Amino acid sequence: METKVQKRKLGKSGLEVSALGLGCMGMSFSYGPVPDKKEMISVLRSAVERGITFFDTAEVYGPFTNEELLGEALSPFRDKLVIATKFGFGTSGISSLDSRPEHIKQVAEASLKRLKTDVIDLFYQHRVDPNVPIEDVAGAVKDLIREGKVKHFGLSEAGVQMIRRAHAVQPVTALQSEYSLWWREPEAEVLPVLEELGIGFVPYSPLGKGFLTGKMNENTTFDKTDFRNSVPRLSPENRKANQVFVDLLAIIAQRKGATPAQIALAWLLAQKSWIVPIPGTTKLTRLEENIGATAVELTANDLLEINTASSKLKVQGDRYSAGSAKLINR
């Protein structure tokens, strides 16, 4: 039986999306050799057929090729979908930040062309730029919204002060940050502020970059071009230590007739009604498995068991290498 994907609203904005989105980065970038384009078009269109309406990309993925891929694959269904993309990196890619208002406007024009659309549903600042006041960033997106080129404004990996300051200029529809059973930092300060302001939350890496699926162990090797080689948390010795998280998910999964990945996603969906995870995949089988998570009902007792057990576990290893970490503003 195919799962019908429920809809969720991102905060008070009224932006309605499928309860699970699709993170598209890996289709063009960062997880080893770039997959075949025709296959990726097929996966994207299969996602639409199965009820996914929320697709996440960025100009920097590729760079540029990921937006082009989505433009080609999704334009026939464009009016039914919510496409999110991001600005904020300089022309040299992810080594430099650039959120100057004139640059934001140039990025918007280029993204619209690549996505083959006349409006960007959700436009995120990819990373906070310490050289540009967040009010100027929000003001630039406000202009784009007024011009009808953008519908909603989002932030990524922003701390609570930045969220408040941006929201005061142009209401923020969604914050996208890493959140999963083994990265729970947003719970302390960020989630309460989002709740207060009515902002939706879009967790990326909800499956711990693949680790929480239970499909990798200390002996797994990544392709030499796979960025996970540089993630301290995913070093072989840390994978061995962190296996306890997967074991915990596996116990619940067995009881529920589900997979560890489905429990990890169901756990996120159960936290708040305005949370919409965006697991990425390049495989139709994984897409179907992830969609299946929306049908998994975790009881209060299940959630208590997961929380109690996971609170005793300590994650080994940082989530990013020292070089990447400086691009994440706390």
Kindly list the catalytic residues.
61
Local structure of 154: helix, strand or coil: strand
**What residue type is 106 in one-letter code?**
Q
CA distance 144 to 119: 10
CA distance 221 to 329: 30
CA distance 10 to 199: 7
Q: Token pair of 166, please?
A: 């941006």
Instruction: List Cα–Cα distances, 4 to 19, 83, 127, 182, 305, in angstroms.
Output: 10, 20, 34, 28, 27
Q: Token pair of 49, please?
A: 């057929």
Local structure of 82: helix, strand or coil: strand
CA distance 319 to 302: 26
CB under 8 Å to 221, separation ≥6 — which residues?
none
Across 121-142, b (16+ Cβ under 10 Å) vs e yields bbbbbbbbbeebebeebbbbbe
Q: Where are the alpha helices (DSSP H) in 184-299?
A: 190-197, 236-256, 260-271, 284-292
CA distance 252 to 264: 10
